[in-house]
A and B are shown apart, each in its own frame.
Chain A
Amino acid sequence: MNFKMSVVVRTVADIMIIPIIVFGIYLILHGHLTPGGGFQGGAVIASATALLIVAWGTLKDNKDDFSTMESTGLTMFFLLALLGIIMGFSLFYNSLAGTGGIFGGTVSGINPGYINTGGTVPLMNIVVGLEVVAALSLILYMMAKRSDALEVEE
């Protein structure tokens, strides 16, 4: 049984997921500068999924997309860890910090907030955020769907 909330709740949920997702992306991208990071930002974005599920009763079946996202996140995380070995250092060595490429900016002393710094740390934040978003959304989606199924059977 597809339990929908009223049109007011659904509309407000549709509007509110935009600031929630933007805030989650902010948390992930600024993970190396301010408190937050991949896990926290991912949980914030997954709460948007929870809001949608509560408001609309269910989501359309995008289980495979979430699965792909999650596997991609974990694989990319491990490949980024292996990058340290490929570049000639040890596992999880931050080999991109200060090299001038993407996220490779250099600051001396305290970083005043330049986002283009950090080497592999922001990249790892992004891929871990991807994985956490997909994982938590997938759990929420499966549980919501299952409770629907049980409701039908009774």
Chain B
Amino acid sequence: MKKIIALIALIVISAFMLGGVAEMRGDDGSFGNPVETEMDDFFLEDSQDHNQVNNVVTAVLFDYRGLDTLGEATVLFSAVSGVLTVLRKYKLSKKENLTKLTKSSKGGKK
């Protein structure tokens, strides 16, 4: 039953996504020829004048879509915070130490 539900969900979502991709193409149906080109043209033509930057990807990343990059950096920051929290040095209390560690190993703590 679960598998059937998953299969139906997969088919429906794939249909929506493929439909979206098909809608994005031009009338001749060729790939890489999108219908809406205003943003692309804006970035390609104006990023040099606005930012004095050759690399349009960097111009989009750090100027036009800077808020997205801020989120990306924050994600990295939270990932590191999570790693530091999970892998921190911690002490078990005496009770836990006896019950937990003696079973698995020689009871040696770090």
Binding site for B on A (CB under 8 A): 31-37, 39, 67, 70, 73-74, 77-78, 81, 91-94, 97-98, 105-107, 109-111, 117-121, 124-125, 128, 131-132, 135, 138-139, 142-143, 145-146, 149, 152-154
Pick 19 A–B contacts, CB within 8 A, sort by A: A31-B55, A37-B62, A39-B72, A77-B70, A92-B67, A94-B51, A97-B53, A98-B52, A111-B54, A121-B53, A121-B58, A124-B62, A128-B69, A131-B73, A135-B79, A138-B80, A138-B83, A142-B83, A152-B108
Per-residue A-contact encoding for B56-92, CB less than 8 Å = 1, 0 else: 0111011110110110111011011001100100000
7 nearest A-B residue pairs (beta carbon): A92-B66, A117-B52, A32-B53, A124-B62, A111-B54, A142-B87, A135-B80
Q: A142-B84, A146-B87 are in contact. Are A119 and B76 (CB under 8 A)?
A: no
Tell me the smallest distance from the CB of B105 to a CB of chain A, in Å.
6
List residues of chain B with CB within 8 A of the CB of A97.
50-53
Number of interface residues of B (CB under 8 A): 32
List residues of chain B with CB within 8 A of the CB of A39.
72
List residues of chain B with CB within 8 A of the CB of A120.
62-63
From B54, B66, B67, give the contact of A33 (CB < 8 A): B54
Tell me if B48 is interfacial: C-beta within 8 Å of chain A.
yes
A135→B61 CA distance, assembly (Å): 20
A65→B43 CA distance, assembly (Å): 38
Q: A74-B77, A135-B76, A142-B84 are in contact. Are A106 and B52 (CB under 8 A)?
A: yes
Beyond contacts A94-B50, A139-B83, A152-B110: 10 other A-B pairs, Cβ-Cβ < 8 A, are A70-B77, A94-B51, A109-B48, A120-B62, A121-B59, A121-B62, A131-B77, A138-B80, A153-B105, A153-B110
Per-residue A-contact encoding for B87-110, CB less than 8 Å = 1, 0 else: 100000000000000000100111
